Structure 1
């Protein structure tokens, strides 16, 4: 991994299945979704020739999985090979074997307000940034269906970014629901939200996430996710999240084939 900030964010150049597949494993605590300094992508998905389906928006392309989606113009589109995710950062004495392991990670991301909040949550003397919201795509190896991909990943984004080491404050969907994007891409979506998370850092907040499980053009299961802070000023509305989700589409042949 190229960088690790606040023990929670992981940025790097390896691809997005670092944690395995449909059901990421994690077990400690991490602060919010901090981001490290990295060059922003001026073009869509790092230069991919693709027009947004929403006029004025930006395109995010993931060549690894052959997918694309659009985000509003105030989002920062990162290079496709940049990773964004969470690792365990605080000790969970109930399961020490997982200390420091990756919770969940994805690539080809777009970030809303990268330095929305600043803090030194891990008290290492370095101030880290917390993003207001992040969206991206990862593989779902190990999942057995689009619904399994959605349910297996959505909780981990809320857990990794907002509630570690607590899982009791997370309220997930019990079942995934069928969903079709505007391009006709069919799959399943699931939501998860936290309520009254015990995390007390100055940048702490509750969080929400939605994951859309689907198949790429090669027939492999893929998951697109968006997570963000809740109960805060400037919270990303669910209506905007659904508008972004509606733009998810296939884009060329997956790079690995």
Structure 2
């Protein structure tokens, strides 16, 4: 087990303070200029230990670089290198963080993938949901046994294997945000190991409220996925109540990043949507969807709302 990790099934790092209750950065100019309900730890205060991973990062040549690590242990990661990104608790970004080996290109957000033992590489797998049927005819189902939810995606999306967590990394390859039970929109369209969007669920234990978690995750994923260098403008909505026909109640928020400095052909502006709710174990969880904007085939807001309407609880096993 790597230093700073917990055995499988652990969610919080007992040696560190609650990441939702960290002291703040010194004030500095920030083009985003928005209220931040979380406080960021000072740079260098704490971070995950660095260690060689079982597989090296796979260079994409585009705005994102994918690395895959196999582990069942958890590690705590601080995103202190990113000024506007708030450190969150109890989520998949802890997994395999200590296994990231080398730094991807700093020109764009780095997309990460972590795989649990026995799971396959990403592929179009409409049966990844097992016996759980889609509630929209012709769509595919994504199942997250860890977060006890399922949701449907349109047929032109790709369901990732159940053991695959995805997210975005910093310049050193350390994950900033991750989630499990995931799907991609148009993977590899612009560059290998790149996608035009994605969705999944992460933990939110430690948040003071559903509203807080929904707003913060919307902003965090927008920064990490589209504007890690913060060259553009971020607009995050206030959380509003969410309820659908499948019994999911909680809070929802969204964010948009515009006017991002484009340093390669795959960089775009983008948008994020979140729903924070209590899962069947009574734990806070946040469903996240991010998507490129200003491209041919952009995921419409109506499609996002339709996907959100399919979010439903699963009984914990």
**Alignment TM-score, normalising by the size of structure 2:** 0.66
Residue number among 169, 179, 199 corresponding to 1:87 in the alignment: 169
State the match for 1:56 in structure 2. Answer: 138
- 1:31 to partner: Cα distance: 2.3
**1:96 corresponds to:** none
Number of equivalences: 232
Query: CA–CA distance in 2 between the matches of 1:153 and 1:17?
Result: 20
Quote the Cα distance in structure 2 between the aligned partners of 1:243 and 1:155: 21
Shift of 1:103: 1.2
Partner of residue 244 from structure 2, selected from 181, 193, 200: 181
Q: Note if contact 1:30-1:163 (Cα within 8 Å) is conserved in structure 2.
A: no
Q: Secondary structure at the match of 1:148?
A: helix
Residues 241-252 of structure 1 mapped to structure 2, 5 A cutoff: 241-252=304-315
Deviation at 1:101, TM superposition (A): 3.1
**Structure 2 unaligned spans of 5+:** 1-52, 84-105, 114-119
Matched, 1:38 2:121: yes
Contact preservation (8 Å) 2:165, 2:178: yes
Cα displacement (A) at 1:80: 1.6
- Say if 2:255 is the partner of 1:192: yes
Of the three residues 279, 295, 300, the one matched with 1:216 is 279
Secondary structure at the aligned position of 1:61 is classed as strand
Change (3 A) 1:132 1:15: farther
Measure, in 2, the Cα distance between the counterparts of 1:249 and 1:197: 34
Call closer, same or farther: CA 1:197–1:115 in 2, change over 3 Å.
Answer: same
**What SS does the aligned partner of 2:215 have?**
helix
Q: How far apart are the structure 1 equivalents of 2:184 and 2:278?
A: 24
Match of 1:114 in 2: 187
Range that drifts further, 156-165 or 27-36? 27-36
- CA separation of 1:243 and 1:19: change in aligned 2, threshold 3 A: farther
Q: Which moved more, 1:1-10 or 1:197-206?
A: 1-10
- Contact 2:259/2:269 (8 A) holds in 1: yes
Contact in 2 for aligned 1:30/1:161 (Cα 8 Å): no
Contact 2:198/2:289 (<8 A) preserved? yes
**Residues of 1 paired with 2:112 and 2:259: CA distance?**
24
CA offset at residue 167 of structure 1?
A: 6.5
- The alignment partner of 2:146 has SS state of coil
- Alpha-carbon separation, structure 2, partners of 1:192 and 1:201: 23
Q: Which has the higher contact order (CA 8 A, sep 6+)?
A: 1
Where is the strand percentage greater, Structure 1 or Structure 2? Answer: 1
- The answer as to 2:183 corresponding to 1:133 is no
2:149 maps to 67
Deviation, 1:129, is: 3.4
Task: Pick the structure with greater CA Rg.
Answer: 2
Secondary structure of 1:129's aligned partner: coil
CA contact (8 A) 1:197 1:205 kept: yes
Residue 155 to residue 26, structure 1, CA distance change in 2 (3 Å): farther
Residue 19 of structure 1 deviates from its aligned partner by 5.9
